[in-house]
Amino acid sequence: MGKEFELKIVNPDIELFKKTLKENNASLKHSKQYMHRHVFHHPDPTVDGFIRLRNEGENNVTLTCKIFNQSKFPLEYEVKLDGDYESGLEFLKKSGLKLKSFQETAREKWVHPLAKEIVFDTWPGIPEFIEVDCESEEDLKKLIQILDIDKNSIRYDGVDSLYEELYKIPKNKFNGMPSLTFDNFNSEIRGGKKVKKHTVSNKRKRSKTYKKTKR
């Protein structure tokens, strides 16, 4: 519990990265699984953060509190529940937390000795990206070198930034959307204006062109 030492890799060559993982002592934990989560407002309105209940499949349910601060690494506190998602959801609602959004995603997970997890994430309407999550910043830096990660592709911001860049949806509007699902994505972001090209910026380079997601 504490800081979440995690980075995103945008615009990746998915198959090449998986090949690199295999060559560097990583292994597949599970193939792509569809997940859903309910996101709640943090009970303290002065805190930039949220509470999340997520069903990760195979009776794996996590409850997470994430708090953003001045660091590029947010604070994260997470516990695993006994697999009863509905009971966890009812508990949060009865506790007085205000529901923010329901979201669907898909995830393929890999493991490596230096990482808590390495995941390939698919969100509705945006290209697949990779997240590398480690126990320490030192391990994260080591993996950047070991896996030969292009520093121009590294991001430390949230997924809301990707939607803002691709669909011109302000972050506060995206984070206030009541639902985000694969089946109804087009209508759910109807208020956003899609740009002609899939582009994403980063701190080191002005822009990168996304590859279209294959589903």
Please compute the mean of the pLDDT values over residues 34-63 and round it to a whole number. Answer: 94
Q: What is the pLDDT of residue 1?
A: 60
Percent of the chain predicted with pLDDT > 70: 87
- Percentage of the chain beyond pLDDT 90 is 77
* Higher-pLDDT residue of 54, 208: 54
d(CA 58, CA 56): 7
pLDDT at 85: 95
Instruction: Give, as one character, the DSSP assignment of residue 190.
Output: T
pLDDT of residue 14 exceeding 70: yes
Question: Which domains, ranges and CATH numbers included, belong to the chain?
Answer: 2-209 (2.40.320.10)
Confirm if 52 and 64 have CB atoms less than 8 A apart: yes
Q: Which helix (H) or strand (E) holds 39?
A: strand 27-41
Say which residues have a Cβ less than 8 Å from residue 111's Cβ, sequence separation at least 6.
26, 27, 29, 117, 118
pLDDT of residue 200: 58
Lowest-confidence segment of 2-6, 77-81, 115-119, 137-141 by average pLDDT:
2-6
Report the range of poorest mean pLDDT among 87-91, 151-155, 204-208.
204-208
